[in-house]
């Protein structure tokens, strides 16, 4: 939980470097990987992890709210991506 909070709230690290380091542990650090994808605006990848890997639908919704940064336009965009993931079963089989 502490690592997730650090990744979400801090900007004192290089996201790409951390993402490449945790790739070998991504089986165990799925939520952290999703947070990092969100930091580099790879929202579709992040939401696929929440929906298809973790089956954590409330966290997917929270992700959309948290990453919209109080922008209605961004919130609509993120929820549209989430809706497309829910409605398109082909997403489940794509590599992310």
Count of domains forming the chain: 1
Domain that holds residue 80: 2-93
pLDDT given for residue 85 in this prediction: 95
Q: What is the mean pLDDT of the chain?
A: 91
Sign of the CA dihedral running 40, 17, 51, 31 = negative
Residues of the chain with confidence (pLDDT) below 50: none
Q: What is the pTM of this model?
A: 0.87
Dihedral of the CA atoms 18, 22, 26, 32 (nearest 10)?
-40
Question: Looking up tokens 């298809």, which residue turns up?
Answer: 52
Nearest-CA neighbor of 42 among 34, 54, 50, 32?
Answer: 34
């Amino acid at each position: 939980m502490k690592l997730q909070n650090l990744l979400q709230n801090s900007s004192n690290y290089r996201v790409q470097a951390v993402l490449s380091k945790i790739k070998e542990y991504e089986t165990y650090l799925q939520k952290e990987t999703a947070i990092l994808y969100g930091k580099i605006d790879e929202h579709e990848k992040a939401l696929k992890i929440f929906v298809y890997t973790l089956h954590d639908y409330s966290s997917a919704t929270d992700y959309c709210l948290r990453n919209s940064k109080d922008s209605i336009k961004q919130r609509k965009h993120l929820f549209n991506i989430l809706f497309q993931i829910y409605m398109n079963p082909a997403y489940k089989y794509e590599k992310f």
